Amino acid sequence: MISNKKYFEVSFPNVPKPVVDVWRCLVGYLEASGCLPSSFIFQQITGHPERFQSERDLKVSHEEVADLIQNRDLFGFAVDTGHSARSVAFSMTKAKTTGDQTVLSCRIECQSKTPADWSRLIEGLLSLWPGIGGWQWDNLYKVWQGTISENVYEANFGAIPPGVRMVGGGGLGGHGKPKRKFIDVSLNPGRAKELLPMVNFYPSSEMWLGPHFWQYASCTKQEVLDSDIFLIKRDLPNFLYLKTWPEPFRRPDGEQGRIQQKLWRLLFHEDCEWPPSSGGISDKPIYGPPELMPRDEIA
């Protein structure tokens, strides 16, 4: 079952140091929200891969995680509480690039106890370490809009809608095993955009755009400040906070779809459509898991 919890991600142009302070910010937020797990399973992340390779499934308290980060001089961390419907996981890892871009992300299962909102954590982190950006979103919507595997889509959401384009396929010069085909999500309103390997932009209803974001955008910060599509704009020293919808987006059509379309056009000079191959945004909800359909549209 795909989690419908609210997820978050924060990206930085380099490793936030001291790394242990990032962990302490996360722990403090979980504790203040009454959601701090009693223990974590710790995974080694280090710039020295020859160290601690034999270590597996080290179960520790949050204080012991802090000690491990400090004592081993780690550039990140990865912890989880197991693999069940009640589990959570958090990681801070370097992106797969030649630079030190770093991403703090999460995995939150359906029945886990987690904060209902991550905004204060995101703002706290970006206030301490100027970043690329921070986002929070409805995970079920993101997965639906971003799934590219036919098998995964059908297993989770049923039949692939008509009009969906497929990409890939074909053989290698007429020889060899045919290449796999994938669902083309490049015009889905709720798709993510890769800025760098592992560093993404999410067209979410709330976003915190740091000073390092604008090198990837197709517009200027001033153009965003001059735009009238936002409900709230707060221009602070370390980030620009933008809100376009009262809740996380859960539909690619209707007014929500049109707002996401405006975001794509403004920030990246790109467009979107729903349903697939329609060339526009439908006024009425079309397709999608029942959990994301308006109540009066569910048969």
Please give the Cα distance from 273 to 187 (Å, whole number): 6
pLDDT tens digits for range 166-183: 998 765 555 666 678 999
92 and 175 assigned to the same domain: no
The percent of residues above 90 in pLDDT, for the chain, comes to 84
180 and 83 assigned to the same domain: no
234 and 216 assigned to the same domain: yes
Residue 12, domain extent: 6-47+56-132
Contacts of 156 (CB under 8 A, 6+ apart): 2, 143, 144, 147, 289
286 and 239 assigned to the same domain: yes
179 and 279 assigned to the same domain: yes
Q: Is the pLDDT of residue 281 over 50?
A: yes
Please give the Cα distance from 138 to 155 (Å, whole number): 20
CA–CA distances in Å: residue 205 to residues 70, 135, 195, 202:
36, 9, 19, 9
* Radius of gyration, CA atoms only, the chain: 20
Is residue 1 in a domain? Answer: no
Domain boundary among 110, 132, 154: 132
122 and 146 assigned to the same domain: no
Q: Which residue has the higher pLDDT, 58 or 228?
A: 228
The average confidence (pLDDT) of the chain is 92
Closest C-alpha among 176, 190, 178, 18 to residue 92:
18
171 and 274 assigned to the same domain: yes
150 and 285 assigned to the same domain: yes
In this prediction, residue 176 carries a pLDDT of 60
Please give the Cα distance from 14 to 94 (Å, whole number): 8
Place of tokens 């020293």: 237
121 and 37 assigned to the same domain: yes
The percent of residues above 70 in pLDDT, for the chain, comes to 91
pLDDT tens digits for range 195-244: 999 999 999 999 999 999 999 999 999 999 999 999 999 999 999 999 99
150 and 224 assigned to the same domain: yes
Please give the Cα distance from 167 to 162 (Å, whole number): 15
Is residue 19 in a domain? Answer: yes
136 within 8 A of 126, measured Cβ to Cβ? no
Burial class of 283 by CB neighbour count within 10 A (0 to 12, 13 to 18, 19+)? exposed
Domain boundary among 88, 110, 132: 132
Domain boundary among 77, 101, 132: 132
How many domains are contained in the chain?
2
249 and 114 assigned to the same domain: no
Own/partner pairs, 275-281, CB within 8 angstroms, 24+ separation = 275/161, 275/163, 276/161, 276/162, 276/163, 276/164, 276/165, 276/184, 276/187, 276/188, 277/163, 277/164, 277/165, 278/163, 281/189, 281/252, 281/253, 281/254, 281/257
93 and 174 assigned to the same domain: no
In this prediction, residue 171 carries a pLDDT of 55
In this prediction, residue 56 carries a pLDDT of 62
